Chains A and B, each alone.
Chain A
Amino acid sequence: MTDAIRYIDAISSTLRQELKRDDDVIVLGEDVSYGGPFGATAGLSDMFGPTRIVDTPISEGAVMGLAVGAALAGRRPVVEVMFADFITLAMDQLINHAAKLRYMTDGQLSVPLTIRVQGGVGGGYGAHHSQSLEAWFLHVPGLKVVAPCSVDDASGLLAAAIRDDDPVVYLEHRGLYWSKGSIMSHVDPATIGLAAVVRPGADVTVVAVSRMVQVAMSAAEKLAADGVDVEVVDLRTVSPIDLETITESIRRTGRLVVAHEAVVTGGLGAELVAGVHAAAFNSLTSPAIRVGAPFTPVPASPHLERLYVPTVDDVIAAVLETLPER
């Protein structure tokens, strides 16, 4: 049985399913009993009560540590970070504690923690409510990072994150919250660490992450009309990167474009291209190209914001640049 469902509803229903499935799952965050800023946790408090749906003060650092401590005491916490930008306040507990604890204890303990992080550009929120920080997390051994684009993945990767025994940063893009897709009435966890070819093609591989997968798909449709056959790979997991799926694609196409919403400098694209060079340099017939944001904070003005965020045209231009002159 399938129902049309929105990305944000997929998050809500998966949280509900996992809270029902495992009594150790608890949800922590600012105003989570109210539903959070976009309603992802709405209704959970009525079903599961305040001992499992915990409204916290505006104390991101302590709340992250609280979740790590609760995980050590046997719980399986899901922390909501209201805007990705605010995770900077929780970095000590996330980076120094959650990520390293398993290693420092030589595997005696693990931290089964899910960090739901809402972010992405859109809506004129400005520099403190719009960042894409996935490269920061990618840089930290011990963290897994997922970034679903499809509604199916919003569910499957969330279930997987909650059931995973390691800390998983789950990146939600608010620009996807209202996009629709189909979902089974019961969610099976997806596999963390696997990318997916969401559009097969022969000429150029576009690896995209989060909302940029939608942008890449639109670009591919337009290019198809011009006779360019683009393969789109939805990265799905930022860490660990599924280089195998990507290099396999490049062996077929010989060309690579990486598209993300974060700034290009020091970004996910750089890591991905370096990984591809090490694994399949000889398969590339042209230099790989990164599509991303300019090296500035996110501007608030809608006019400037539109210029900041990578567009369908940017992806098309990058794809055409990889191709020989026609």
Chain B
Amino acid sequence: MLPDLNLDAQVAMLRRMLIARRFEEELIELAQDRDIGHFHVYVGQESTGIPALSLLEHGDLSFTNHRNHGHLIARGADPGPMYAEILGRVTGYCRGKGGTLHLASVEHGFPTTSSATGGCIPLAVGAGMGLSRLGSDRISVCLMGDGALEEGAWHESANIAAMESLPVIFLCENNSLEALGQRAGEYPSSTMAVRDLTELASVFGIEAVAIDGLDVRAVHETMSRAVLRARCGEGPTFIEARTVRWPGNRPIWPELATGRTDISMAWEDSLVPEEHAIWHRKQDGLLGFTRELLAEGNFRTEAVLRLDEETTEHVREGLVFALDSSYPDPEEALEHVFSPAGD
């Protein structure tokens, strides 16, 4: 039976989508004032990762990539230790040794994060094998971009996942659609002979489906089926979730090209600026989902504003926590290369 998507569950998803958005907006603003190094953002993909990962349970493992901030938030990670990790502070999830490219939290089901494109694919398949060999019904989720399909790791791993009928879900977030930079001739998209990405999975006999990654309900329903299949031992699923590349997600440094998201645009169309109007009206999954919730009449604009205030505050507290935290002691740089002897 597929999980029910009741109002509480929807509001919980909206909340995490807001946290993810505000988290990165704060980060981009912070980067304008000080050198915090390079980072990749998830803006524009919240409508995929948050509903998809909300279906995972404790003990399910997830493996993500360089664009990971939203994924951790989707599974309940706290903005404070996330910011601290990104800023290299001792209170970070990995005490500053992972950083933004390797943001991981074991307690939230992210054992490690690979920033070698496609690196997470065999790890996720192996985790699926490890879990199924335990006789457990826990599953493994591989969070990958369309670019990862260009790596040999995909083809080798998909073959194994299919042959062994492993409990793995490949959630491929294709953010290459409408890449604005690409139109300007500067941002190459997927570089593949294949047009339909699902063919790269179905050729191995993997259940494969392409969906609109901006449609929270479609993501939730498709992912529910995939989770059920994996838990029941019916094998892997490949989901291509199509999202639109956010205009601010430009090489090399992300910038707030569309400004801080004014959530009121969801009900007050006159607030939508001329520039990037299509983004605000059609391509931002956060605004789209808010509009849907309001249209159904169970949720009011006041409640949205309250939720936005609460999450913005929550995120800012996290940033203050991180900025107030100290850097690790120099000796820590030498620790944990190997396990303690006799461990």
**Residue from A54, A62, A74, A103 having most chain B Cβ neighbours under 10 A:** A62
Are B339 and A165 interface neighbours, CB within 8 A?
Answer: yes
Determine the distance from Cα of A51 to Cα of B166 in the docked complex, in whole angstroms.
12
Q: A101-B111, A105-B336 are in contact. List 12 more A-B contacts (CB 8 A).
A: A57-B159, A59-B157, A62-B121, A67-B126, A68-B122, A69-B122, A70-B127, A73-B130, A74-B130, A106-B96, A108-B106, A141-B337
- Residue of B112, B122, B337, B343 near A66 (CB, 8 A) is B122
CB-CB under 8 A for A142 and B338, given A51-B133, A68-B126, A106-B97: yes
A75 sits at the interface (CB 8 A) = yes
- Residue of A26, A93, A105 near B106 (CB, 8 A) is A105
CB-CB under 8 A for A65 and B157, given A97-B112, A106-B336, A142-B337: yes
B98 sits at the interface (CB 8 A) = yes
- Residue of B63, B111, B126 near A109 (CB, 8 A) is B111
Q: Please, which residues of chain B bring their CB within 8 A of the CB of A68?
A: 122-123, 126
Which residue from chain B places its CB closest to the CB of A240 in the assembled complex? B338
Are A62 and B130 interface neighbours, CB within 8 A?
Answer: no
- Residue of A75, A93, A105 near B104 (CB, 8 A) is A105
CB distance from A208 to the nearest CB of B (A): 25
- Residue of A72, A75, A92, A141 near B112 (CB, 8 A) is A72
Determine the distance from Cα of A102 to Cα of B67 in the docked complex, in whole angstroms.
21
Q: Considering the complex, which residues of chain B in the window 52-106 have a beta carbon less than 8 Å from any beta carbon of chain A?
A: 61, 63, 94-98, 102, 104, 106
Across the A-B interface, give the 3 residue pairs with the lowest CB-CB distance, nearest first.
A69-B126, A65-B122, A73-B130
CB distance from A66 to the nearest CB of B (A): 4
Determine the distance from Cα of A26 to Cα of B131 in the docked complex, in whole angstroms.
13
CB-CB under 8 A for A107 and B160, given A65-B123, A69-B127, A70-B133: no
Are B343 and A165 interface neighbours, CB within 8 A?
Answer: yes
Are A69 and B124 interface neighbours, CB within 8 A?
Answer: yes
A220 sits at the interface (CB 8 A) = no
CB distance from A286 to the nearest CB of B (A): 35
Q: Please, which residues of chain A bring their CB within 8 A of the CB of B134?
A: 73-75
Q: Please, which residues of chain B bring their CB within 8 A of the CB of A141?
A: 337
**Residue from A69, A101, A105, A109 having most chain B Cβ neighbours under 10 A:** A69
**Residue from A57, A67, A74, A107 having most chain B Cβ neighbours under 10 A:** A107
Are A72 and B126 interface neighbours, CB within 8 A?
Answer: yes
Are A62 and B112 interface neighbours, CB within 8 A?
Answer: no
Q: Considering the complex, which residues of chain A in the window 70-107 have a beta carbon less than 8 Å from any beta carbon of chain B?
A: 70-75, 92-93, 96-97, 101-107
CB-CB under 8 A for A61 and B112, given A72-B127, A73-B140: no
Determine the distance from Cα of A37 to Cα of B98 in the docked complex, in whole angstroms.
39
A174 sits at the interface (CB 8 A) = no
A211 sits at the interface (CB 8 A) = no
Interface set of A (CB-CB < 8 Å, partner B): 26, 51-52, 54, 56-57, 59, 61-75, 92-93, 96-97, 101-110, 141-142, 144, 164-166
- Residue of B106, B125, B133 near A62 (CB, 8 A) is B125
Are B159 and A69 interface neighbours, CB within 8 A?
Answer: no
CB-CB under 8 A for A64 and B122, given A73-B61, A73-B131, A106-B95: yes
Which residue from chain A places its CB closest to the CB of B157 in the assembled complex? A62
B269 sits at the interface (CB 8 A) = no
Q: Please, which residues of chain B bring their CB within 8 A of the CB of A61?
A: 122, 152-153, 156
CB distance from B141 to the nearest CB of A (A): 12
Q: Please, which residues of chain B bring their CB within 8 A of the CB of A104?
A: 94, 97-98, 102, 104, 112
Determine the distance from Cα of A65 to Cα of B126 in the docked complex, in whole angstroms.
7
B129 sits at the interface (CB 8 A) = yes
Are A105 and B94 interface neighbours, CB within 8 A?
Answer: yes
Determine the distance from Cα of A101 to Cα of B338 in the docked complex, in whole angstroms.
10
Are A69 and B94 interface neighbours, CB within 8 A?
Answer: no
Q: Please, which residues of chain A bring their CB within 8 A of the CB of B63?
A: 69
A and B contact pairs by CB, cutoff 8 A, 29 listed: A61-B152, A62-B122, A65-B121, A65-B122, A66-B129, A66-B157, A66-B160, A68-B122, A68-B123, A69-B63, A69-B128, A69-B130, A70-B126, A71-B130, A72-B112, A73-B127, A73-B130, A73-B140, A101-B111, A104-B97, A104-B102, A104-B104, A106-B95, A106-B332, A106-B335, A107-B339, A109-B106, A164-B339, A165-B339
Are B133 and A52 interface neighbours, CB within 8 A?
Answer: yes
B119 sits at the interface (CB 8 A) = yes
Are A70 and B111 interface neighbours, CB within 8 A?
Answer: no
Determine the distance from Cα of A54 to Cα of B163 in the docked complex, in whole angstroms.
11
Q: Please, which residues of chain A bring their CB within 8 A of the CB of B116?
A: 92, 96-97
B45 sits at the interface (CB 8 A) = no
**Residue from A59, A72, A109 having most chain B Cβ neighbours under 10 A:** A72
Are A62 and B98 interface neighbours, CB within 8 A?
Answer: no
B207-219 CB mask vs A (1 if < 8 Å, else 0) is 0000000000000
Are A65 and B94 interface neighbours, CB within 8 A?
Answer: no
Which residue from chain B places its CB closest to the CB of A92 in the assembled complex? B116
Which residue from chain A places its CB closest to the CB of B342 in the assembled complex? A165
Q: Please, which residues of chain A bring their CB within 8 A of the CB of B111?
A: 72, 101, 105, 109
B114-148 CB mask vs A (1 if < 8 Å, else 0) is 10100101111111111101100000100000000
B261-297 CB mask vs A (1 if < 8 Å, else 0) is 0000000000000000000000000000000000000
Q: Please, which residues of chain B bring their CB within 8 A of the CB of A75?
A: 129-130, 133-134
Q: Please, which residues of chain B bring their CB within 8 A of the CB of A108?
A: 94, 106
Which residue from chain A places its CB closest to the CB of B168 in the assembled complex? A69
Determine the distance from Cα of A265 to Cα of B335 in the docked complex, in whole angstroms.
31
Are B125 and A65 interface neighbours, CB within 8 A?
Answer: yes
Q: Please, which residues of chain A bring their CB within 8 A of the CB of B160?
A: 56-57, 59, 62-63, 66
CB-CB under 8 A for A66 and B126, given A52-B133, A59-B160: yes
**Residue from A63, A74, A105 having most chain B Cβ neighbours under 10 A:** A105
Q: Please, which residues of chain A bring their CB within 8 A of the CB of B123?
A: 65, 68-69, 72, 93, 97
Are B336 and A107 interface neighbours, CB within 8 A?
Answer: yes
Determine the distance from Cα of A56 to Cα of B130 in the docked complex, in whole angstroms.
15
